[in-house]
Amino acid sequence: MTTQPESELLTHVGPGTPMGALMREYWIPAARSSEVTADGDPVRLMLLGEKLIAFRDSNGKVGVMDHRCPHRCASLFFGRNEGGGIRCVYHGWKFDADGNCTDMANIPPHQDFKQKVHAKAYKVVERAGLIWVYMGTREQAPPMPAIEASLLPADEITILFVQRECNWLQALEGDIDTSHFSHLHVGSVKPEDVRDDNWMKYQVLNRAPEFEVADTDWGTMYCAQRPIEDGQTYWRFAHFGLPFWTWIPQGAFNDRLLARAWVPMDDTHTMFVSMVWNKASRSMPLADGKPIPGATPVLAFQPNSSDWYGRYRPVQNAANDYLIDREAQRNDTIYTGIDYIHMQDQAITESMGDIVDHSFEHLAPSDQMITRTRRRLIMAARALQDKGTVPPGVDDPLMYQRVRSGERVSPLVDWQAAYDEGMKQAVRPVDFQLAAE
């Protein structure tokens, strides 16, 4: 059971909190590169409970900084992005993308002290079509993580951002709870509905797999295993990577190249960021070419607005009960009655409340990955707080090259041997060493 102090540690990410300090040790995917244009409008960003703005200057450099002008705390969101920096409209003070004050327009030259004023700005890197931010205290930022999907060219990956209105941990835990797929997503699918060459048949034939869980250098991993015909085993491997990464198992192991981040905006809002290799094999349809019921391929979004929570909000939301179709639920057309697989997850995790009350839980053997991952996070946060121990992966960017998720069938009886064999057969479209440099 997760105690109240542990729950508080896990779920709060603002400045000065142990989990917030842990998060700030890592590079964070914060926005699409396309969200900011040279001399274009600033964008409000909420990250780890901090109100920030992002902008791209005249030379194409991206700045991410506290939205408050260090003069009188007026919001730089209303600033003029011009001539290589953002100018506060209150008194004309101007700042470059690194936060340096370059002009004090309302101060006579002999009283100017711009060299002493610095906006709170964070280090920024662009990679794979994303803006990454380092919010930690190091003078020299750590190396970027060599997460496989993030090393691909931007035109070879599909990126998806979706805002979720709940705590980051309960959002993430939906990705490391594999047994829910056989119920929440394919609960209305019967074995006879699935083609013989589609491994999904094993998930509907046996909706209660056995689990193996282990700590890893990067976080935790699990395997759901189901014995099948001819003495073989159907394996589903997935991972959690510090501080907020997941690799889900739905898809063939050999080319299941993806990464998913559950970035805390604050304690009650999360930005889901997904990167998927375009050349990866896709899940096969069910019998007669039919897709999974409720698996609409495109998610509908509300128009983005400029407020702190105005980006990537789905049309389906709590206010409209996620457009649940009770008739489809009753007649078993869609098990949940909710269309789009991601929104089925979203409805459930948001239904737990802004921050789930862990004291109300009754965790089961199928939740081993949940408990192991919480423990891993708690230990890493406490080690950083109490001993200054650098969290896993911060200084070892190549650690993530050993991570791959997905499904496979194998006669091997040892789950980690089955994983290692799969890794030897995995398609590797990037040179990790070259990319890390």
Q: Number of structural domains, the chain?
A: 2
Positions in the chain whose pLDDT score sits under 70:
433-437
- Please tell me the distance from the alpha carbon of residue 7 to that of residue 220, in angstroms, as a whole number: 19
Are both 137 and 155 inside the same structural domain? no
Residues 6+ apart with CB under 8 A from 177: 366, 367, 369, 370
Token pair, residue 70, equals 């260090």
Q: Are 241 and 393 in contact (CB under 8 A)?
A: yes
pLDDT at 287: 80
Q: What is the layout of strands, in order, in the sheet containing 130-134?
A: 27-32, 130-134, 121-127, 62-66, 50-56, 43-47
Longest dimension (CA), the chain: 86
Does any domain span residue 15?
no
List residues bridging with 85 in a β-sheet.
Answer: 82
What is the phi/psi pair of residue 143, to 5°? -65, 155
Residue 279 and residue 429 in contact, taking contact as beta carbons nearer than 8 Å = yes
pLDDT at 436: 60
Q: To which residue do tokens 């459930």 refer?
A: 348
Task: Work out whether strand 157-164 and strand 269-277 pair parallel, antiparallel, or are unpaired.
Answer: antiparallel
Residues 159 and 73 in one domain: no
Question: Considering only CA atoms, which of 86, 93, 88, 27 is closest in space to residue 62?
Answer: 86
DSSP percent split of the chain into helix, strand, coil, nearest 5: 30, 25, 45
For residue 380, what are the domain limits? 150-436
**CA angle (262, 264, 267) in 5-degree steps:** 135
* Final residue belonging to a domain, choices 95, 117, 141: 141
pLDDT digits (tens, 9 = 90+) for 10-40: 999 999 999 999 999 999 999 999 999 999 9
- Nearest Cα neighbor of 60 from 5, 131, 116, 3 is 131
Please list the residues that pair with 266 across neighbouring strands: 269
* 176 and 126 in a common domain: no
* Same domain? 203 vs 129: no
Domain boundary among the residues 141, 175, 192 is at 141
DSSP 173-230: HTTT-GGGIIIIITTT--GGGS-TT-THHHHHH-SS-EEEEEE-SSEEEEEEEEE-GG
Question: Which of these, 182, 314, 172, lies nearest to 247 by C-alpha position?
Answer: 172
pLDDT value of position 432: 74
* Closest among 141, 146, 147, 145 to 123, alpha carbons compared: 141
Residues 6+ away with beta carbon under 8 Å from 78: 89
Q: Are residues 137 and 164 in the same domain?
A: no
Q: Can you say whether the dihedral through the CA atoms of 288, 292, 294, 300 is positive or negative?
A: negative
Residue where a domain terminates, one of 141, 171, 188: 141
Is residue 21 domain-resident?
no
Task: Report the CATH number that the domain containing residue 106 is assigned in CATH.
Answer: 2.102.10.10
CA distance 174 to 184: 11
- Considering the domain boundaries, does residue 217 fall inside one? yes
Residues 137 and 198 in one domain: no
Angle, alpha carbons 23-270-163 (nearest 5°)? 145
Residue 258 lies in a domain: yes
Q: Are residues 281 and 388 in the same domain?
A: yes
Rounded to whole angstroms, how far apart are CA atoms 35 and 398?
A: 29
Domain assignment present for residue 252? The answer is yes
Write down the residue that tokens 């040892």 correspond to. Answer: 414
Residue with tokens 């015909």: 229
Within a domain: 57 = yes
Instruction: Specify whether 302 is located in the same domain as 384.
Output: yes
Question: 340 with 365, same domain?
Answer: yes
Query: Looking at the structure, do residues 225 and 249 belong to the same domain, yes or no?
Result: yes
Do 228 and 267 fall into the same domain? yes
Residues 236 and 348 in one domain: yes
Would you say residue 8 lies in a domain? no
Q: What pLDDT does residue 435 have?
A: 62
Asked if residue 222 lies in contact with residue 178, where contact means CB atoms within 8 angstroms, the answer is yes
Angle value at C-alpha 63, between 50 and 267, nearest 5 degrees: 15
State if pTM tops 0.85.
yes
Whether residue 353 is contained in a domain is answered as yes
Residue with token string 């991206």? 62
Measured N-to-C along each axis, helices 4-11 and 368-387 cross at an angle, to the nearest 10 degrees, of 80
CA dist., res. 387 & res. 262, Å (int): 26
